[in-house]
Amino acid sequence: MRTAVRFGVFGALAALATLALAGCGAKQGEVSGTVSYDGKPIENGSVTFVAEDGKSTTAGGTIKGGKYTVQNVPVGRMQVRITGSEQKGTKKLYNTPDSPELPVYVTVVPEKYNVGSELRYEVKPGRQEKNFDLTK
């Protein structure tokens, strides 16, 4: 009989812990979508969600092939910062004929979408989709 009581108590504690963890997850969202600049997908970059109230944590992720997913984004009104770059050629590492070459990247997203971003988004609990079609 005591064994059954122990498992009952441990089972109840496990259920409470599961509910507590589920409650914490409800305060976060997962945001995914596409990012383009002047109609062209951003090949490489990042999306960062910064809480407007300054109290919540920041969450971010990478853009690959014009797509992004950011997990564990705090719920609330966020400033969205987007960076993007594209390869514009290569450059020799050394000034020798057989030198290895490195790719050269240039920024393609203006500052108005970066640190001084004018983009805003209200993050809700759970999964959601938000596409960003940026223009000059």
Query: Going residue by residue through the chain (136 aa), what tens digit of pLDDT does each one get?
Result: 554 444 444 444 343 333 344 444 458 999 999 999 999 999 999 999 999 988 889 999 999 999 999 999 999 999 999 999 988 999 999 999 999 999 999 999 999 999 889 999 999 999 999 999 999 8
Q: CA 31 to CA 4: how far, in whole Å?
A: 44
pLDDT at res. 11:
41
Residues forming beta bridges with residue 92, ordered by sequence position: 101
Question: At residue 99, what are phi and psi to the nearest 5 degrees?
Answer: -65, 140
pLDDT at res. 9:
42
Contacts of 48 (CB under 8 A, 6+ apart): 58, 59, 60, 80, 81, 82
104 vs 28, 86, 87, CA distance in Å?
A: 37, 8, 6
Contact 32, 68 (CB under 8 A): yes
Task: Find the domain containing 66 and state its range.
Answer: 29-129
Contact 90, 47 (CB under 8 A): no
**Which 3 state secondary structure label does DSSP give 82?**
strand
pLDDT at res. 15:
39
Q: CA 68 to CA 66: how far, in whole Å?
A: 7
On whether residue 40 sits in a domain, the answer given is yes
pLDDT at res. 54:
87
On whether residue 101 sits in a domain, the answer given is yes
On whether residue 47 sits in a domain, the answer given is yes
CATH number, domain with residue 102: 2.60.40
On whether residue 98 sits in a domain, the answer given is yes
